[in-house]
Amino acid sequence: MSIRIGILGYGNLGRGIECAIKQNTDMELAAVFTRRDPSGVTIQTEGVPVCSVSEAKDWKDKIDVMILCGGSATDLPEQTPEYARMFNVIDSFDTHARIPEHYANVDAAAKEGNKIGIISVGWDPGMFSLNRLYANAILPDGKDYTFWGKGVSQGHSDAIRRVEGVKDAKQYTIPVDTALEAVRNGENPELTTRQKHTRECFVVLEEGADAAKVEEEIKTMPNYFSDYDTTVHFISEEELKRDHSGIPHGGFVLRSGKTGWNGENSHLIEYSLKLDSNPEFTSSVLVAYARAAYRLSQEGQSGCRTVFDIAPAYLSAKSGEELRRTML
Amino acid sequence: MSIRIGILGYGNLGRGIECAIKQNTDMELAAVFTRRDPSGVTIQTEGVPVCSVSEAKDWKDKIDVMILCGGSATDLPEQTPEYARMFNVIDSFDTHARIPEHYANVDAAAKEGNKIGIISVGWDPGMFSLNRLYANAILPDGKDYTFWGKGVSQGHSDAIRRVEGVKDAKQYTIPVDTALEAVRNGENPELTTRQKHTRECFVVLEEGADAAKVEEEIKTMPNYFSDYDTTVHFISEEELKRDHSGIPHGGFVLRSGKTGWNGENSHLIEYSLKLDSNPEFTSSVLVAYARAAYRLSQEGQSGCRTVFDIAPAYLSAKSGEELRRTML
């Protein structure tokens, strides 16, 4: 029998989940839940209903894992505990500072419902976190580096759009090659914010806007841009649509460390991602962990989990015997 | 209380374990066991006894995890099941084709002894295997690539030393840059053995040996060299000692895959290691998994495990709460 997946929230992430389910033959999409009017939402999978979130509770016995595709700012802190009382749930909660609080809330709710809730799944938090943990456990005497990009930062793009005179914009976060190379060479550099990443902005101006003023306002924006070397390009609306409509991202997690009786040997562990579509890759990670949630629940487990708590074999559709034979 | 570790076999790997224990404050070295005359073996840790393997059984209650540092060809197939009846054990068994058989033997023995046995720990098998599994679970529609090097292959160095006229030799396995780049560019190349790696040999000749004949014999050696582009350098014994006494290694695990309703987006996951000392890095992985073995045993679990079966958090000395707060 297939693992029956529900999608709650049909934005970029929800659509990515739908695609990922299609790639996993042990899963099927049971239903999509939306806060919008369901009659206005068209999905790609034939024969699968789109329902109002208010109907979700009626699906308790027809869905094995509900994947929550809301935002971390306001949706997930409410939704994940709420739905963990009824369903095994997965989310991609990514407000790093609030993870302990979110964990506690989901843990209590999931235990109450005798369900599994896996939080903060994706690539950062998610695969990057896993690589930080493995690398730290292996090389206790070392130094961690995380670089993001080249990729689109939604938050920074939004910040530019709020500048007066800006019609539309896209911002790319770009790791600085020389900094990456210094880390790879085992130089253990101390890197400032400015030394690690640059920011590149593609901006469409409103008719008659003052380009110099917009550029100045972007480059000096506190928190978002003032600590970085920022480049601003003014382009037409057509160019933005043609050249910058994708949502690529990626990055690098590195740890350099020493071993030996006197720390005489150096080692470098590097993990990197180069992603055409940030939401589709995140979705693919979420779906693999949905399989784990289902299995943990079948074993009678309940409560909150993170990627740290889940043995890798739970993510794969293959049996333990097959994994040992083909991948070990 | 510290986790008390025993080392069985004091070669390169055993010495690496000793160094790694020193870096982990929640562990202590309890004893080293050797098949040699213990009086002839000097270790670096003060106040720790060197014992004969025949005494190991007397240490059943004084060692939490025994790390087995023998070879995969003949030592570990015997040793790991034997000691898993008495101790929680870890090994670095790396004969990929015989892993299922080894797993079954260790599983039966460890269950009999109510102990945990973790096999095939290191980087390949080990960290590379983990990365293959994670990447495959995330991107079901994709292609795997593993490259090894630049690094010393002990097996190939030994093969050269068996050639008549060779006094000593060191062989490096080197990944082909253009092949790596083609994978990184998402070209999904089909690569032959020759296209993936080259082999570079540094050879010290016996007095009066025929260099041309030795070179020909190396380059045409079946299994070891005939399928590769091989370079042979003749150097002096002093040069070999001065420039080639290290045991560096490393490599790359990549998976490229597609997502999207029609596979329209491409992704690349890459994991790489650059290691000054192959045995010391392997040791560092073994010691992290020794922590996991201890904890699993404390929970009352028994039987054989691989890296696939162990939740990442078990490897870290930090608590779950601290890991979520600092690394997620």
- Average pLDDT, integer, range A187-216: 96
Which stretch of DSSP H or E encloses residue B67?
Answer: strand B65-68
Is residue A1 predicted with pLDDT exceeding 90?
A: no
User: Tokens in use for B82?
Assistant: 């034997």
Q: Which of A116, A117, A136 is nearest to A128 (CA)?
A: A136
Interface size between A and B, measured as CB pairs under 8 A: 214
Which residues in B lie closer than 8 A to residue A272 (C-beta atoms)?
268-271
pLDDT band for position A263 (cuts 50, 70, 90)? very high
Tens digits of residue pLDDT in A106-134? 999 999 999 999 999 999 999 999 999 99
Whether A23 sits inside 8 A of B140 (CB atoms) is yes
Whether A259 sits inside 8 A of B283 (CB atoms) is yes
Contact between residue B275 and residue B250 where contact means Cβ atoms under 8 Å apart: yes
Tens digits of residue pLDDT in A64-108? 999 999 999 999 999 999 999 999 999 999 999 999 999 999 999
pLDDT at B328: 94
Classify strands A197-205 and A229-234 as parallel, antiparallel or unpaired: parallel
Architecture of the domain made up of B1-122+277-325: 3-Layer(aba) Sandwich (3.40)
Q: In the predicted model, what is the mean pLDDT of chain A?
A: 97
Q: Rounded to 5 degrees, what angle do the CA atoms A64, A65, A67 make?
A: 155
The residue among B45, B103, B327 with the most chain A CBs within 10 A of its CB, best to mutate, is: B327
Is residue A283 predicted with pLDDT exceeding 90?
A: yes
Whether B268 sits inside 8 A of A274 (CB atoms) is yes
The residue among A118, A146, A328 with the most chain B CBs within 10 A of its CB, best to mutate, is: A328
The residue among B254, B308, B323, B326 with the most chain A CBs within 10 A of its CB, best to mutate, is: B308
Q: How far is it, in rounded angstroms, from Cα A47 to Cα A37?
A: 18
Q: Any bridge partners for residue A132, and if so which?
A: none
Q: How far is it, in rounded angstroms, from Cα A66 to Cα B281?
A: 40
pLDDT at A255: 98
Mention every residue, 6+ apart, whose C-beta is less than 8 A from residue B187: none
Which residues in B lie closer than 8 A to residue A136 (C-beta atoms)?
316, 327
CATH superfamily of A150-246: Dihydrodipicolinate Reductase; domain 2 (3.30.360.10)
pLDDT tens series, chain B, 328 aa: 899 999 999 999 999 999 999 999 999 999 999 999 999 999 999 999 999 999 999 999 999 999 999 999 999 999 999 999 999 999 999 999 999 999 999 999 999 999 999 999 999 999 999 999 999 999 999 999 999 999 999 899 999 999 999 999 999 999 999 999 999 999 999 999 999 999 999 999 999 999 999 999 999 999 899 999 999 999 999 999 999 999 999 999 999 999 999 999 999 999 999 999 999 999 999 999 999 999 999 999 999 999 999 999 999 999 999 999 999 9
pLDDT band for position A49 (cuts 50, 70, 90)? very high
Q: How would DSSP label each residue in A31-74?
A: EEEESS-GGG---SSTT--EEEGGGGGGGTTT-SEEEE---TTT
Tens digits of residue pLDDT in A170-182? 999 999 999 999 9
Which residues in B lie closer than 8 A to residue A125 (C-beta atoms)?
328
Chain B, nearest residue to A95 by Cα = B328
Which residues in A lie closer than 8 A to residue B134 (C-beta atoms)?
127, 130, 312, 315
- Average pLDDT, integer, range A152-173: 96
Is residue A53 predicted with pLDDT exceeding 90?
A: yes
pLDDT at A188: 92
pLDDT at A62: 98
Which residues in B lie closer than 8 A to residue A308 (C-beta atoms)?
311-313, 320, 323-324, 327-328
pLDDT at B1: 81
Domain boundaries, chain B: 1-122+277-325, 150-246
Whether B184 sits inside 8 A of A274 (CB atoms) is yes
Binding site membership of B: which residues? 10-13, 34-36, 69-72, 92-94, 121-125, 148, 173, 199, 249, 278
Which residues in A lie closer than 8 A to residue B277 (C-beta atoms)?
259-260, 265, 267
Instruction: Give percent above pLDDT 90 in chain A.
Output: 98
pLDDT at A127: 98
pTM for the whole thing?
Answer: 0.96
